[in-house]
Amino acid sequence: MAAPMSWRRLVYSVYSPAIAGVFTRISDRLFRARDRRGGSSVLLLAPLLAETDPAPHRVSRPTGSAGAQRTEGLCSHFRWMAEHVPAFQVPGSHVHILTSPDQFYQAMKARIKTAQRRVVMASLYLGTGQLEQELVRKVAFTQAYCMEEALQRSEDNSQSPDLKVSVLLDYTRGSRGKINSRTMLLPLLQRFTSQMRVSLYHTPDLRGLLRLLVPQRFNETIGVQHIKVYLFDDSIIISGANLSDSYFTNRQDRYVLLENCREVADFFCDLVEAVGDVSLQLQPDDSVTMLEGMVHPYKGNRQDFSAVARKRIMEVVNSAHIRQRLLNQSEDSEDEGMSEAEEDTWVFPLVQMKPLGIRVDEQVTQRLLTDAGSESTVFLTSGYFNLTRAYMRLVLKAGASYRILTASPEVNGFFGAKGVAGAIPAAYTHIARQFYKQVCQGGQQERVHLHEYHRPQWTFHAKGLWYYLQGQDRPCLTLIGSPNFGYRSVHRDLEAQIAIVTENEELQSQLQEEQEMLYRRSTEVSTSTFELPDRHVKLWVKLVTPLIKNFF
């Protein structure tokens, strides 16, 4: 039974993040020791022509793990996740799957307008089109200007405005061109300086000569802030979609809205603020500065920056982890409070920041793929078919059935691009062909299926997975967020997603409908697919494919 709300408030009030500092300092020492043994944790220009994934992380399989493939007690079935990350128990009725770009856009607009305390937005970048302007600030001939309207309302209604807005973007992508994400936000920052914060994360791997030589169009290939979190008071949208007009109109992604889930919202608010603290701070005059005491990402020492950033971010993760374990233990022992039927869903936040030495998402994902039993089915999707070698080995050697959905060339976001970028769809075709060849050579065509998404005038950017246990006709687990399961997501960028484990039948049905909706627009790949004239891959594209795998 769940604990009374008074117990929740008690734990939140007396728990000190300092407790987590002990664990953070221990892990920091291990991290630094590893760097001393192996030298720099990142070689900026390597690997250019070869992928060097480590072997899959070996994990034990205790009784009741996902490998047991039992259908009863789903929460205990995946309880091993709580050993590694915070576990938030929420009512499944508060979780809503959004299925279209317009739903995503309208949900954000409505909640920004009514926000009372906080709006937190983390994305790769903010676009500069009409829809983005309507989301942010008032411009000529525009009636809807959600963020500015909310800030103005808060300022008018209080001598000390309550609403605070925090925006986290990537520095390189957000600074590209004369009109960019920064220029979009500057008017708000200048007008509401005390209420507004804009943080621009800069990867520590883009520095020195490399920073001078890489053209602006390609500097984001070294590493970016890729987390997509949109938070409004105690509600939050986790997605893989950016804040750009195509993601609001005709670029298919995935989106989950957690309504009135304060503990989850608090965690992601703290996480975004922690990343913001180690980022460059945008000033009203368009300059950028670092917070006092923070190491500069590309002017300071590389290892010092990573150590400081890792400590700051892991304080959030460890603090929440310990706090939630205390809460969950109290709920197991209490006889009063919220019924199990109300809190029937678990949310596990998974963070991946390999440049900073944080590999939580990678390890949990590998465990899920490793433990998937022979009678279970995994539907896995990525807008860019570029599984790491570790993930690919697990899929090819696992017992579960896999149906993998990726973009067909014409719905790839790089389709029709100029220069090297225009070769990216063909490179992914080459990668898919190599993978399918391995499937056929292993005689696994009946177990591993590859699908391509088709939709005229649309592009495809959805990522994540749906996990069906043995004998179940609806998924009980999903991964949803920013990671693509590729080299960049694991090794270069800052990523975050959530694992949702639910016994709520309505939520399971929503997940099933979402999965079926996406796969309904797909065709299954066969050997003949790669023999079509438009699937011919030029030799030079094949030669640069290893480079594309590691940087795009």
Give the HSE-up count for residue 352: Cα atoms under 13 Å, Cβ half-sphere.
27
Query: What local confidence, expressed as pLDDT, does residue 417 receive?
Result: 77
**Of 383, 387, 381, residue with least CA distance to 413:** 383
* Residue 4: pLDDT band with limits 50, 70, 90: very low
Asked if residue 24 has pLDDT above 90, the reply is: no
Closest C-alpha to 320, from 257, 356, 274, 259: 274
Average pLDDT across the chain, whole number: 86
| 378 DSSP β-pair partners | 402, 467
Q: How confident is the model at residue 277, as a pLDDT?
A: 98
DSSP 481-495: ES--SBHHHHHTSBE
Catalytic residue numbers read 226, 228, 233
Characterize the bridge pairing of strands 377-382 and 464-468: antiparallel
For the stretch 137-177, pLDDT in tens is 765 555 556 999 999 999 888 766 799 999 999 999 999 99
Q: What is the pTM of this model?
A: 0.87
Cβ neighbors of 366 (< 8 A, separation 6 or more) are 56, 57, 59, 390, 391, 394
Report which of 468, 377, 383, 480 is spatially closest to residue 95, judged by C-alpha positions.
Answer: 480
Residue 348, φ and ψ in degrees, nearest 5: -115, 110
- Higher-scoring residue by pLDDT: 414, 149: 149
The letter for the amino acid at 433 is: R
What length is written for the chain?
A: 552
Q: Is the pLDDT of residue 62 over 60?
A: no
User: What is the DSSP code (8-state) at residue 66?
Assistant: G
